[in-house]
Structures are given as C-alpha cells and as structure tokens.
Structure 1
Amino acid sequence: MQEELEKMVQLESGKLSFTDNQIDFMLQNIGNLDPYLRDDVVYTLLARGFTENSFIPEQKAKIVTTFISSRNLFKGIEQPQNDLIFLRTFNALLGELILESDNDKPILTDSERQLLFDWSIRYLKEEKDFRGYVTTKGWAHSVAHGSDFLGATLSHHDFKPKSVSAIFDVITSIFQNLKNPFVDDEEQRIAFAFFQGVNFQKIASADFNSFVDDFDKQIYQQLLHDDRANWYCLSSWFRLLQNWYFYFSTNKEVQDNLLSKITAYNEKMGFTL
C-alpha cells in the first residue's frame, strides 16, 4: 500500500483519486513514526485530497467521522512525553484541512462543525508536549500545528465565538506550560492564528489590544520570580509582538499598541531606539 501511495504523490494536480482502502491506510498511519511516510506521503496526500477536491463526498464524510470518533487529537494528552504526540499533532493538521474544506463548501453538519471549533481551542489548552523537531522522527510541532488548526477556526465564516476570553486563554495556557524556549518558529504560527481572528472580525481590535495590554503586564510581573522559564516566556512574548506588528500592517489601532510594547521591551533591555 505504501508503494501505491508513493506513486500517487508524483501525480499531477487533478489526477488524484482514492480507494477506500487507501484512505483507511492513510488514517491508520497519520501519526506513523516514520517521518517520510507520515509527512511526505500520508499528510501530503490528505492535503492534496482536500485542496484538489480529489475525495468524493462519501470519502470526506468517512475522514470526518474517523477524525471525530477516534479522538486521536487528544490521545495520550494527559500522559508524560511520548510518541503519541505525532498522532495528536498530525490530527490537528487534519482538523485544519477539514475546516478549510468546509469553509469553501460545507462538508460538516452543524454539530460536527461546532465540535471542531471547540476542539481547536481546547487542544492548545491541554497540550503540554512542546517539542518541535525530533531526531529520527521528524516534526512533532504541536504548538505550530495546533495554531494552524485554531487559525482555520478563526477564519471560518460560520465561527461565532462563545467567549473571546476563552480564545485568549489559549495563549495563557501555552505560556503557563512553556518550560523551554521555542526554537522552531512556533510564535509565528500562534501570531498568525490570532491575526486571522482579528482580520476575519471574530475578535474585535479593541479586545485584542486589551489582551495585549493585560498579558504584557502579566509577563513582566512574572519576572519578579527569578525563574528561567519566565524569561523564556518574555522572549517568546517579544517574538509574538514582533510578528503581530508586521501582520497588522493595515490596522493602525493594533499596530500602534504593539509598537508601544516593542519599544518598552527594548528600553527595559537597555536598547535605545
């Protein structure tokens, strides 16, 4: 089966079609520890299947049903660091693909859609394994993949936030669980997800600015406790601010507030601008 799928990866756009057995194999191997099979074959074909509309409706429904019923997005999430992280994070990417496809043309029921919205927020609050690239096993990248899933929710035309504070709690949870510095551009992916929330008017600019004001104060207050993890949080927060500053280039209300925080950071670090 793997050889069949490897050949399919080489097909030109528009030439793909899938059997049910091939889809079963891909879903069973979405978290495979072989990075070539997982990333370059299985995920690549799942992504192309959705973006090139190569799955028939019944196959899309099968993928959605399996995604929901398996609950692989949360499999082992309460356990110590282990290889189930690959199953979770590549299911987060699958959740993104499903929501983006549904945003183009509905493939979900109302209840399925709401469940995926809720899961995209819940996942980043519960995930604690923040490894990026794992030697011999490839990308775990939970925060990046989870942020992509969240971004698909925040850019979906049917998403109506129950609570904006619950969305911002995602960032709070990530920083509470941050024990080591991010080294694989996780901040960029977090920043873009929340930019999408404001850009698609799911989060008001005023609410975003209020969160930035409050969280910025909280980050500096944590430095009163001389703990290295708090300094990692400050560094990651600064990178978030930088990414947001460029993403919000056409939103002066937000960009001016971000610039004030960036300038204050540099002054606190002894740099004169």
Structure 2
Amino acid sequence: MESKLKEVLQSIKTNDYQLPDQFNLQELTTMMLQRIGAVDPVIRDELIHSIFTALIDNGAYNSDQLKNILQSILNKNYLFYKIGSSKKEEDAVFKRSFSVLLIPPILKQHRTAPFLKEEEVHRVWENLKKYMQQESDHRGYVDGKGWAHAMAHAADALNSTASCREITTQEVEGMLPVIREQFLIDQPYLFDEEERMVTAVLTMFKKMEPDDRVKWLETLIYQRKSWDDPKEDIIINNSKHFLRALYFRMLEGDYRELRQVLENLLRELRKQEAY
C-alpha cells in the first residue's frame, strides 16, 4: 500500500504536478490528508507536502476547497492530533507539524485574493495559539523519519497569518508570551527553529508600538533558579540564541533602537551564564 501510494505521488510530482486520469482532485486531496503524517519522510515531506503546496500555489483549488482543507486541519484529528496524550518518542507529532505547515500556502492565497471571512482568519490565529500552548514535542530532525520540526512549522504559520490585515495588535501581543514560553525551555533547539520564529516575530512587531516590543524582549531574559542544574544552562542558551537571532536579523532595516536594547539584554544575560 505504501509503495503504491509513493509511486502514484511520485508520478504526479514528476509530471509537473498534473493528476493522472484515474484521480480527480478531491480523491487526491482526501488521500493526502489521510497520510499527511506518514512516518515515511519521502511520502510525508517530499511528496504530500510538496504536492499540496504546488497545487495551492498554482490555483488548483477554488476558495471553497481551500476553506474545506483549512477547516479540516484545524481540528483534533490534525493540528491537535494526540497533542496531550502522545509521548515524545511517538509519531503523532508528524501529523500535527505537517498539518500546521499547510496553513502558510492557504493564507498566502487569501492575502493575494481574499476569500476568508474576518472571523475565519481570527479562528486560524486562535487555533495556532492553542497549538503553540500545547505542543511539547520539540524534536527537529528524527533519524529514519525525517523532519518533525513542529516549532519551525508553527513559526511559518504564525508569520503567514500575522501578515494578514485581519490580525490585530491585541492578537499579536497575546501570542508573544506563548512564543516566549516555547523557547525558554530545557530542551535545546538545534535546527534553526529560533531563526524561523524570528521571522514571525518581526512580522508581528510591525503591528506593535515600539515600547511594547521592548517590554516583550525584556521577558526573554531568563533568571536562573539554580547554578547546579544543567537544564538551566539549556534555557539560558535558548534565550541567548533567540536574542542573537533577533539582533542579527535587525542589522537590516530601521531597528537601531531595538538593536541597542538587544545588546543590553545580551550583556545582562551573560550574568546568568555558568562560566
């Protein structure tokens, strides 16, 4: 079954994303949604994700079809699949992380030619916020299974959704503390997750007042609770890497005042280092 599926999907990708005669678009969409969290990284990432993105970008889906896909992935069977019950070593994260990765191409279409109601865009944001609050599997690349990368994928979705005119300053400010909680954790980020999230944060900053940006940045200074627990060093490093990523991204653009704030914060953070 897996080999047959892979063969069909590969033929679609090879044929410039044209569907074979025996498939219609709805059949293909249903099949891909059913296997969106496949453990096989070729099926999940190189084929299903690639095909979905190409079809959406190329306008293969009409507005109603895009709405249906979006509605499907924002539920307990996709974005929230086993989110409170699966262990870190289990494979449920692949379904969640590749569901969230469908949001950016759909929202890109909405920004180009709006088809979602304002409340529907707000619903996407609220579901992303709930997802961010609940996701606890922070693995990046998993040997033999490919990318999980849940937080990087969530960052892409946040960036795409925050770019929508419907998202308000209040919504953005409500998300930033959640991002802070996800990055000041005692598990190291190893695969540029902070870089992807910085992209989203800078998009969100466009909807905020300068003073409110600074207030949030100051919350990224972690106050060490123990000098003997190595987990504290992981949290400090996560904070440092996030602030550094922000700083270097701000070398471009009119961010001189914020760069000075970040320099001061990084100096302050050094006081928390154990060496």
2:209 to 201, 204, 207: 204
Q: Distance in 1 between matches of 2:107 and 2:64?
A: 16
The residue matched to 2:219 in structure 1 has which SS? helix
Change (3 A) 1:244 1:175: closer
Q: Distance in 2 between matches of 1:108 and 1:163?
A: 18
Q: Distance in 1 between matches of 2:174 and 2:64?
A: 34
Where does 1:50-129 land on structure 2 (aligned, <5 Å)? 50-69=56-75, 71-79=77-85, 80-81=87-88, 82-129=90-137
Q: CA deviation at 1:69?
A: 4.8
Larger fraction in helix:
1
2:237 to 223, 235, 238: 235
Asked if structure 2 preserves the Cα contact closer than 8 Å seen for 1:9 and 1:45, the reply is yes
Q: Distance in 2 between matches of 1:68 and 1:175?
A: 23
2:31 is the counterpart of 1:25: yes
2:154 is the counterpart of 1:146: yes
Which consecutive residues of structure 1, in runs of 5 or more, have no partner in the other structure?
none
Change (3 A) 1:66 1:267: closer
Change (3 A) 1:169 1:206: same
Change (3 A) 1:172 1:226: farther
Identity %: 25
Asked if structure 1 preserves the Cα contact closer than 8 Å seen for 2:142 and 2:148, the reply is yes
Q: Distance in 2 between matches of 1:114 and 1:165?
A: 14
Asked if structure 1 preserves the Cα contact closer than 8 Å seen for 2:97 and 2:154, the reply is yes
The residue matched to 1:72 in structure 2 has which SS? coil
CA RMSD in angstroms, aligned pairs only: 2.3
| Offset from partner CA, 1:208-258 (integer Å, 9 cap, x none) | 111112331xx0x22446422221111111111111112222211211211
Q: CA deviation at 1:267?
A: 7.3
Q: Distance in 2 between matches of 1:33 and 1:190?
A: 25
Q: Distance in 1 between matches of 2:172 and 2:119?
A: 20
Asked if structure 1 preserves the Cα contact closer than 8 Å seen for 2:224 and 2:272, the reply is no
Q: Distance in 2 between matches of 1:153 and 1:105?
A: 14
| Offset from partner CA, 1:32-88 (integer Å, 9 cap, x none) | 111000001100011111222222334323312322355510111111222110010
Q: Distance in 1 between matches of 2:129 and 2:209?
A: 18
1:255 to 245, 251, 259: 259
Which consecutive residues of structure 2, in runs of 5 or more, have no partner in the other structure?
none
1:40 to 30, 36, 46: 46
Relative to the length of structure 2, the TM-score reads 0.86
Q: Distance in 1 between matches of 2:64 and 2:112?
A: 17
Q: How many residues align?
A: 263
Match of 1:166 in 2: 174
Relative to the length of structure 1, the TM-score reads 0.87
Change (3 A) 1:89 1:160: same
Q: CA deviation at 1:262?
A: 2.8
Q: Distance in 1 between matches of 2:81 and 2:118?
A: 24
Q: CA deviation at 1:163?
A: 4.7
Q: Distance in 2 between matches of 1:153 and 1:225?
A: 40
